[in-house]
Homo-oligomer: A and B are copies of this chain.
């Protein structure tokens, strides 16, 4: 077994089989829905519902207690009343179960001492049997490669490269759909809840080891073991980028976070310092968290901060340029060789400067291939932002105008779009430089879908694309200090 496999979280994320408490014949209960969602994704190991009375749940044979289950169980999932969690953990311990996810709430996140006492009690029980559990008051985990989804929302995104640890439970479930909007998905996602036995730092170590995870996303309401976290994060960020969204910065956010998982938040500036010290890239919104993960998980590190912008619409190009400074990037000066190479390809109304604006393209093919290749060869350019709008309807009107029938024209346009996407998606790989696209379109358009699915990083606006490249540059500076 390698380091990854001996990590306490490994068996939680890679169970061979699962015993499930809290599903019943009441199909609308949280437990029942979590079990349905687990089965829906197609987890391939055995699943054993445990229920005092029901004999069959969701088509599975149910057992009245864990000791009746005919094989050794890797993982227990508990979606049961607070009061009986300790007892069930005890039964798990007796049956040799070593890992658990405690979804049940009503522990230390509640005001007063009762919940805190209860939490202490379940940790004691777990400790006495060598059990490690995630939670309580968490929503479970996703391992998309193992078709494992213990949360209450069906996982409808693809298996992906973003590993996430979240101090908000349902947060990860809300993101399934958000990631789908880019054709992205989680590699692993963990909801931490009250972190009674497994905390953010543990998850960070685990995700660093996970081979499917290229970038780590953290949703933070408050860090518990500060020094330990800094130590771990410093190590991890040298090998994998970490992007954090910290919610406790404002008084309002802090209050919201506290009532939610009971974590202690600190002043925004303090966290800013911690993140900086650890090489963690900070995101200022949920959208930004995943925008940054998208770029940092896919793009090679730039050599410097000199950005080229290629556009065929002035406004989005200017917006990209305007946001470069805010993103910590500067507009590259194009070299004389580049200027000379570009000039004949641009219409006389276009600017031969950075942003390079093709305006109304004479030859659309240049836009996705010749022009970006010229820019990426320029040694004065470290990264490229490409405004991505395929004027597909315009191309269609043009093709129809040549007398093609509708079906044939659609075929021609579709092939054309696919070909252009393939070329654009390869730009970063062939140049070794980061290339990020921005578009106001979405995956309902063939072009955006093709680009993203062929591996090009495309964000939903010029500003967001450039901000992503800025985050990548900040991470490259951190990495450079260790090379």
Chain A: residues with CB nearer than 8 A to chain B? 27-28, 30, 32-33, 36-37, 40, 58, 105-106, 109-110, 137, 152-154, 156, 166, 168-171, 173-175, 177-178, 181, 219, 221, 245, 247-253, 255-257, 259-261, 285-287, 309, 312-319, 321-326, 330-331, 348-349, 351, 353, 355, 357, 359-360, 389, 391, 393-394, 397-402, 440-442, 444-445, 460-464
Smallest CB gap from A393: residue in B: B154
> Do B28 and A153 have beta carbons less than 8 Å apart?
no
CA distance A402 to B324 in the complex (A): 54
Contact indicator A351/B259 (Cβ below 8 Å): yes
Quote the shortest CB–CB distance from A313 to chain B (angstroms). Answer: 4
With the chains together, A360 CA to B174 CA distance in Å?
13
Besides A36-B397, A286-B316, 8 more A-B contacts (Cβ < 8 Å) are: A33-B394, A174-B315, A248-B322, A250-B321, A256-B309, A256-B321, A286-B440, A442-B442
- In Å, the complex CA distance between A156 and B110 comes to 51
CA of A174 to CA of B398, assembled, Å:
18
Please indicate the chain B residues that have their CB under 8 angstroms from the CB of A394 in the complex: 33, 37, 152-154
Smallest CB separation, A324 vs chain B (Å): 5
For residue A137, which residue of chain B has the nearest CB? B349
Pairwise interchain contact A397-B314, C-beta atoms closer than 8 A: no
What residues of chain B lie closer than 8 Å to A105, measured between beta carbons? 349, 359
A315 touches B178 (CB 8 A): no
Taking a contact as CB atoms under 8 Å apart, the answer to whether A28 and B322 are in contact is no
Residue of B nearest to A175 (CB): B440
Instruction: Find out whether the CB atom of A313 lies under 8 angstroms from the CB atom of B355.
Output: no
Q: Which residue of A401, A441, A442, A461 has the most chain B CB atoms within 10 A of its CB atom?
A: A401
Complex: A442 Cα to B321 Cα, angstroms: 28
Task: Give chain B residues whose Cβ lies under 8 Å from the Cβ of A401.
Answer: 27-28, 32, 36, 58
Q: Which 8 A-B pairs have the closest CB atoms?
A: A27-B401, A253-B322, A171-B315, A168-B315, A256-B321, A256-B318, A170-B313, A260-B314
**CB-based contact B398/A28 at 8 Å:** yes
Q: Point out the residues of chain B lying under 8 angstroms from A40, CB to CB.
A: 397
Which residues from B are CB-within-8-Å of A318?
A: 168, 221, 247, 253, 256-257, 260
Asked if B250 contacts A27 (CB within 8 A), the reply is no
Contact A250 B181 (CB under 8 A): no
Are A319 and B153 interface neighbours, CB within 8 A?
Answer: no
Asked whether, in the complex, the Cβ of A259 is within 8 Å of the Cβ of B357, the reply is yes
Contacts of A252 in B (CB 8 A): 321-322, 324-325, 330-331
Q: A249-B322, A389-B174 are in contact. Are A442 and B360 (CB under 8 A)?
A: no
* Complex Cα–Cα for A178 and B448 (A): 13
Query: Beyond A33-B397, A40-B397, A174-B440, is A324–B106 a contact (Cβ under 8 Å)?
Result: no
- In the complex the two chains form, is A315's CB within 8 Å of B170's CB? yes
- On whether the beta carbons of B250 and A325 are closer than 8 Å, the reply is yes
Q: Which of B32, B317, B391, B445 contacts A256 (CB 8 A)?
A: B317
Contacting residues, chain B, for A248 (C-beta < 8 A) = 322
A322 partner residues in chain B, CB cutoff 8 A: 247-250, 252-253, 256
Q: Are A219 and B250 in contact (CB under 8 A)?
A: no
Nearest-Cβ distance from residue A51 to partner chain B, whole angstroms: 14
Asked if A171 and B313 make an inter-chain contact with CB atoms under 8 angstroms apart, the answer reads yes
